[in-house]
Amino acid sequence: MVVRFQDGSTEGIDAWVREDGAAFLRALGIGDGDRVLDFGCGPGGYVLALAQVVGPRGEVIAVDKSVSHLQSLQERIAESRHRDIIEVHRTDSSLTLDWIAKGSLDAVLLFDVLQHISDWDTLFASVRRTLKPEGLLLVNPSYMSHPGKVDVKRMKARLAARGFALERAKRARVMHYDFLHEEEILVFRAQ
């Protein structure tokens, strides 16, 4: 797979995962040995980079409702040296995450997914329940790929009501399927 950049240049996805993707995730606070959930992972643009960062002592849980996205991801995982630390789950649109133990995750990614979810309160409560104290919630509200679809002010208020504090915002190149562009990632910390 080839990734396209805003300027029209291209790069192999493997190079992005190996270099830029891993550095991007480390800069957001993901580390060796972490247990991370990528909720709404799509075809898994971040899953292999996450696996590289968390290493053999960590775990990556990839969740999506699209069968075709998950099939594509599973094919990529099968060829990966990180396949033993990646779990793939299909959701039936349930947002409760009851199958994940309370306080068992170090971080959760919600990248380019909130515009598809109407019940943020259930999702945010479930994410808060699954995160360890001081766990990270990383959100890409998809300003460029879905402009205006996520009310960021409302999202921040709902997250604050669920016990999350905005720690910082970081501009970085993010992946949207096979396209990389610069967007803001919001880093929240569970309180």
- Give residue limits of the domains in the chain: 2-190
CATH of 2-190, one of 3.20.20.120, 3.30.70.100, 3.40.50.150, 3.40.50.300: 3.40.50.150
Tokens of 105: 């995750």
Residue 11 pLDDT > 70: no
Of 3-12, 41-50, 126-135, 161-170, minimum mean pLDDT range: 3-12
Q: Summarize pLDDT for 40-54 with one digit per residue, the tens.
A: 998 888 999 999 999
Task: State the Cα–Cα distance between residues 160 and 84, nearest whole angstrom.
Answer: 35
84, two tokens: 């033993």
**Portion of the chain with pLDDT greater than 90, in percent:** 57
Q: DSSP secondary-structure letter at 93?
A: S
| Cα gap 2→115, rounded to integer Å | 25
Query: In 37-131, where does DSSP find H-type helix?
Result: 47-54, 67-78, 120-130
Q: Is 43 strand, coil or helix?
A: coil
pLDDT band at 116 (very low <50, low <70, confident <90, very high): confident
pLDDT of residue 9 exceeding 60: no
The per-residue pLDDT for range 17-76, each reduced to its tens digit, is 667 888 999 999 999 999 999 999 988 889 999 999 999 999 999 999 989 889 988 988
